[in-house]
Amino acid sequence: MIEVAPAPNLPVEIRDSMTRDAVRLAQHVGYENAGTVEFLMDKSGKYYFIEVNARLQVEHTVTEEVTGLVLVNQLASRNVAPCSVRRLDIKIIYIYIYIYIYIYE
């Protein structure tokens, strides 16, 4: 299996819109920590909210690779001071390609 980030077929406008909606959702409920807002998109480009995971997910390393930001360090330093990084300020600066090889008997 090959994983590519950012999603090569996802238009930037839709990605940006999803980001804004995720930030609005977190602001609306007063959430100020690490988390993942998940959406499902249909073939026409319309997307739908699925769920919020209020934790770092195992895939957080993908975000770290494409942004150059070490999320775990941000969380650790948050115990001492407020997080200095805001989601809308984070930029995608790298392309991430990960290849999984599954072996089944």
**55 noted as active-site residue:** yes
Residue 105: inside a domain: no
Task: Tell me the one-letter amino acid at 64.
Answer: E
Contacts of 79 (CB under 8 A, 6+ apart): none
- Identify the DSSP state of 53: E
pLDDT in tens, 14-55: 999 998 999 899 899 988 777 889 999 999 999 999 999 988
Q: Residue 104: inside a domain, yes or no?
A: no
**Does residue 54 sit within a domain?**
yes
What domain range includes position 23? 2-99
Q: How is residue 12 annotated by DSSP?
A: H
Q: How many domains does the chain have?
A: 1
pLDDT at 29: 93
Point out the catalytic residue in the list 15, 20, 24, 55. 55
CATH code of the domain covering residue 12: 3.30.470.20
